[in-house]
Homo-oligomer: A and B are copies of this chain.
Amino acid sequence: MTVYSAPARDMRFVLHELLEVEKLSELPGYEDATVDTIDAIIEEAGKMAENVLFPLNQPGDQEGCLFENGVVRTPAGFKEAYDQFTQAGWPALAADPDYGGQGLPKALRLIVDEMVCSANLSFGMYPGLTMGFCNALIQHGTDEQKETYLPKMIEGIWSGTMCLTEPQCGTDLGLIRTKAEPQSDGSYRITGTKIFISAGEHDLTENIVHLVLARMPDAPAGIKGISLFVVPKFLPDDQGNAGPRNGVTCGSIEHKMGIKASATCVMNFDSAEGWLVGEAHRGMRAMFTMMNDARLEVGIQGLGLAETAYQSAVAYAKDRRQGRALNGPKEPDQPADPLTVHPDVRRMLLTMRAFSEGARALAYWTGMQLDISEKHPDAEARQAADDLVALLTPIIKAYFTDEGFNNAHLGIQCMGGHGYIAEWGMEQLLRDARITLLYEGANGVQALDLVGRKLPSKFGRLLRRFFHPAMTFIEDHQTDKDLAEFVLPFAKAFARLQQVTLHIAQQGLKNPDEAGAASVDYLRLFALVLLAYMWVQMVKVAKQKLDDGANGDASFYQAKIATARFFMAKILPENSALFAKIMAGSDSLMSFEDAAF
């Protein structure tokens, strides 16, 4: 069976001992983000995830969503859980206080999101998309739009969607055909079909409000002629409540591999009333605000699933007895030893653990940068943090989801045949995880964003936001004998990253296909180096804590160091292969004759 209990101890380690996230409380507006508040959030969100959301995860997968006559019914218990979730105020946590939010740091929202996704990814989709909606509206909406929609969304009684994809276009949004006809009253009539719309229709909220990409009659062709519109299912009445029905309906829901309790809808807009958000023909800019946030969230989904897969695999491996330790029976009075005696089972468990813990550190660090980028009084500090978030977002999205999937894959393998049986729950984690590599920009698109936009941006300024502190860390610690076994492999991998970065930058100028061909391997190499950077810092903290007496928690810190050792020995070496593949260039890809495929 899958199990989940919120990894509160590890979260506190990352937040308080590694990142000192409570320093965010020094930023104006974040005064409430104290250690106590943060710990209370971990505890309360953990309980909700464990007791309310996780028990619905497997039944939700089995029942799925039901579509009938344009109406979507979520699985039994989802509505009640959603009400509990919103009544506890979770959607308001990091939302704007001007519209009913609690205004806490976004880093804390990521922690809650991790737990929600660990417990029930399908459920998490509903409030998650609403959050993305709110961010886009806050940055690009008019005051009237904000006042109309944000309080209801932050309260959770209305929900939001992003309507981008059409049958003929997913990645290439320049091909969008949905039309927006201007009306004399300043509104628009939206007509077209959108597909793959998560939470497009459901029974959790009183109203569903869509952000829709569409094209005005006079719009330039392609991506520069796309505008963004807000289109509610029920038009707000004079009191701001859900009023008359608008011309938007759900045509069907998809039969998917996983996240079956999340309704993925075909949405038909038939002269639906809508209002422009932001500037005409600049819809992609607004959509990117939403997408960037969503990409980070999807990365967190990968982390969340990875954690549940790890915990469940550990529970099985400790309980299940098969065979004997290769060096002789460990528990001779039992008919067999537990699976944990087998080196390869340990390899799988530690691979999962090293990812989850390393990724958690990287995610929360990025979350902190997000908050600094918004609230720091110093413009340069804000810019530096913003650069870092821009650099890290595609890496987190792609690497975390690749590895979240891989953790579920290893989790199945640890369980043997039981991993393949629905009742045991692990195969659902893999099916659920598979979507995260696809939506909000397939992982290959993330890699192109990294090499094509982020790497050359501002003459490499984004890159330097990571390269400089990494170099400083290496310089500061290269003679530290106690850390040498961690610093040296990190420094070696980092040197390779620098070398391929230069290579791609130079080659890519001459031939963009060189950068494109290297992109996925480059992103992965970058991610490994980032995780190594996290691990070496975590080791430093753990060693310090042990030196200081560890407060009765020595085994926690020792495990942290042991996991770091595994990461350096068995995960990080992948960088050598990635380096070789990148340096092998694009020729073997691009010279292959299309007709021969």
Contact = CB atoms under 8 A, between A and B. Distances in A.
Contacts of A427: 256-257, 434
A431 B257 CA distance: 9
A442 B423 contact: no
A473 interface: no
A573 B577 contact: yes
A595 B554 CA distance: 13
A443 interface: yes
B570 A327 contact: no
B588 A420 contact: no
Contacts of A335: 175
Contacts of A591: 562
A577 B521 CA distance: 13
Contacts of A565: 587-588
A174 to B, nearest CB: 8
B584 A563 contact: no
A18 interface: no
A344 B588 contact: no
A509 interface: no
A76 interface: no
A322 interface: yes
Give the top 7 A-B pairs by smallest Cβ distance, nearest first: A343-B516, A573-B580, A559-B596, A326-B512, A577-B577, A569-B584, A257-B427
**In terms of DSSP, what is the predominant structure of the interface of chain A?**
helix
A340 interface: yes
A363 interface: no
Interface residues of A, number: 99
A82 interface: no
Contact of A559 (B342, B422, B592): B592
Interface stretch (A97-105, A165-173, A456-464): A165-173
A329 to B, nearest CB: 12
A439 B419 CA distance: 11
26 contacts: A169-B322, A171-B322, A171-B323, A175-B335, A196-B417, A256-B427, A257-B422, A258-B420, A318-B597, A327-B511, A327-B513, A343-B517, A343-B586, A344-B516, A344-B519, A346-B592, A348-B444, A349-B597, A413-B437, A417-B439, A420-B435, A427-B434, A430-B434, A569-B581, A570-B588, A576-B580
Contacts of A447: 344
A347 B520 contact: yes
A17 interface: no
Interface string A428-462: 00110011011100111001100010000000000
A565 B585 CA distance: 12
Interface in A373-400: none
A255 interface: yes
Given A417-B438, A589-B347, A558 B596 contact: yes
A59 to B, nearest CB: 14
Contacts of A596: 555-556, 558-559, 562
A592 B570 contact: no
A172 B336 contact: yes
Contacts of A444: 342, 344-345, 348, 413
A590 interface: yes
A315 B326 CA distance: 48
A466 interface: no
Contacts of A476: none
A421 B577 CA distance: 33
A346 B586 CA distance: 10
A294 interface: no
A413 to B, nearest CB: 6
A427 B434 CA distance: 9
Nearest to A563: B592
Contacts of A190: none
A290 interface: no
A31 interface: no
A96 interface: no
Contacts of A342: 444, 516
Interface in A482-535: 511-513, 515-517, 519-520
